[in-house]
Structure 1
């Protein structure tokens, strides 16, 4: 049995001490400083969840809200609809945003596109190209960097106009709750004072986020390397050459194979196997192995090879 990712003991210990009143440090201020350093954004707010960060960002959009046709987060669409925004879906290459497809759309002024750092968690978006195109066409870019924050290559979680994230489980910054939103555009925060007040979080959560931020880059790198290893040893994976945090294998018999894999690749909490089609992943039949869900102690080669062997055996049946 594999271990599902959970907050580290150090994170839980610090949060416990704050809850007991033994530590009175202003951790929100520390979090703001660290997120500022990671994203390079001048204005930062710590929130109660990733969805509340999305709510704040989309509340500031006056025009259309553009979402990918797959590989995003269903909360993008739900929140945009709740806010009464005109929703536009852009075609993708299995989740990857191709700016050529944006050229095909009729987009109003003051619009925004919202996307995740990794399409379906399995393939790094070309954030540099997306931002180049959108800047030239007056489109605000909102990047959900829950999985991309701390990228050592400097491609993710820093280039977009708005960078936001969830710090819930099993994210890279893993506290079980909370989130943040960051931008150089102060107007976003001036226009959304009420949603910000409603999404305030506690110093307890901030203390956990503060600790997790200290080693987020290293944890992301470990997860990326683990996924790369698994992709290399399973045939016909989607976006096999792209950096990512899970492995997607298109297969006509995906549902049945996933059912069998859930019996053998088990974790102590939630699972690590997702069946597609699934908007948050891809629209085609596929098996999705959520490496991102696993505790870092499970990402050693020996454990990864067990996953590889089990999947390859099922694919050969």
Structure 2
């Protein structure tokens, strides 16, 4: 079985150059709170800039950054350390943060900021509303990586970063953005760092693909909803699938021999660009359990019918 891989919008490719202000308007439309948006060459650049911004404020007693123990992005572990922050891992429920215990963790560990993905491991949505309230009450800065959650409820962070590389919801094969809310903007001004930030952002020169990014962003809600719909079908039908009834854009299926089952799936289900349809686990970026992740976000979801999804299920049932 050959599945079509995610490709950027054809209209966006034909009209790749565009107006930056129009793009920012579209991005802000799907974020929970309005942000001051800057376009960057990658999501990793966004995480670097987020760490730089945190270090720009007046020296605090706490230098601790909290990150999930699984389901985060590798950059959560790397970029804060470049700025001499201490990275503390938060025990989660398979990547999902429990808001009822978060306040106690923040207090006991003297946390300055929490780095979190909107979707834990692309598999399940975090309770972002509750997490945001706890962080506000505790005066902890929330840094949200919305790459997998764009098109759903996202944009709760004080700082929001997003990759628009491939294969993401906004799928441009390049780029990303960072957004800061008024609270962060005011802190930067109070510390005399706003001009320094603007100068640094100029170093991250980005080619004009604002038209492509805008077109992909306009499709984000439709793309996200379709991914969630198809992933829910897979979770209902496949034994060993996790997070039934929860929003996700990929599907984890538990298996005692990830290496062998990965090999067998790769033999019968392939993407037309030659890349694998699955990710072997345990892995920090997804989940620390034995099994495989069906990377539905890699598939050209708008070319896939419900019947195609059931064909995938029938094929997988013979293997799993």
**Under a length normalisation based on structure 2, what TM-score does the superposition of the two structures give?**
0.88
In the comparison of the two structures, how many residue pairs are matched? 300
Q: Alignment partner for residue 157 of structure 1, among 143, 154, 158?
A: 154
Mapping 1:211-290, distance limit 5 Å: 211-269=215-273, 270-290=275-295
Q: Alignment partner for residue 166 of structure 2, among 169, 188, 205?
A: 169
Question: Against the structure 1 CA distance between its residues 308 and 102, is the aligned structure 2 distance closer, same or farther, given a 3 Å change threshold?
Answer: farther
Mapping 1:114-125, distance limit 5 Å: 114-125=115-126
Mapping 1:18-57, distance limit 5 Å: 18=17, 25=18, 27-39=19-31, 40-57=33-50
Give the whole-Å Cα distance in 2 for the aligned partners of 1:272 and 1:102.
38
Unaligned runs of 5+ in 2: 56-62
Question: Against the structure 1 CA distance between its residues 279 and 42, is the aligned structure 2 distance closer, same or farther, given a 3 Å change threshold?
Answer: closer
Contact 1:298 1:304 survives alignment (8 Å): no
CA apart distance, 1:132? 1.2
Give the whole-Å Cα distance in 1 for the aligned partners of 2:200 and 2:315.
46
CA apart distance, 1:180? 1.0
Give the whole-Å Cα distance in 2 for the aligned partners of 1:260 and 1:276.
15
Query: Structure 1 residues 273-282 or 292-301, which shifts more?
Result: 292-301
In the alignment, which residue of structure 1 is the partner of 2:59? none
CA apart distance, 1:308? 0.9
CA apart distance, 1:195? 3.7
CA apart distance, 1:102? 5.6
Give the whole-Å Cα distance in 2 for the aligned partners of 1:210 and 1:220.
16
In the alignment, which residue of structure 2 is the partner of 1:112? 113
Contact 1:223 1:299 survives alignment (8 Å): no
1:89 aligns with 2:89: yes
User: CA deviation digits over 1:45-104, x for unaligned, max 9?
Assistant: 111111111111121124322111101111111212222221111111101012315624
User: CA deviation digits over 1:274-306, x for unaligned, max 9?
Assistant: 110100011111111011110024431122112
Question: Against the structure 1 CA distance between its residues 93 and 267, is the aligned structure 2 distance closer, same or farther, given a 3 Å change threshold?
Answer: same
In the alignment, which residue of structure 1 is the partner of 2:60? none
- SS of equivalent residue, structure 1 residue 128: helix
User: CA deviation digits over 1:212-258, x for unaligned, max 9?
Assistant: 12221111111111111111111231112211011101121222111
Unaligned runs of 5+ in 1: 19-24
Give the whole-Å Cα distance in 1 for the aligned partners of 2:103 and 2:262.
34
1:70 aligns with 2:67: no
Give the whole-Å Cα distance in 2 for the aligned partners of 1:144 and 1:275.
22
Give the whole-Å Cα distance in 2 for the aligned partners of 1:195 and 1:51.
15
Question: Against the structure 1 CA distance between its residues 42 and 80, is the aligned structure 2 distance closer, same or farther, given a 3 Å change threshold?
Answer: closer
Query: RMSD between aligned alpha carbons?
Result: 1.8
**Under a length normalisation based on structure 1, what TM-score does the superposition of the two structures give?**
0.89
Contact 1:65 1:113 survives alignment (8 Å): yes
Give the whole-Å Cα distance in 2 for the aligned partners of 1:224 and 1:287.
18
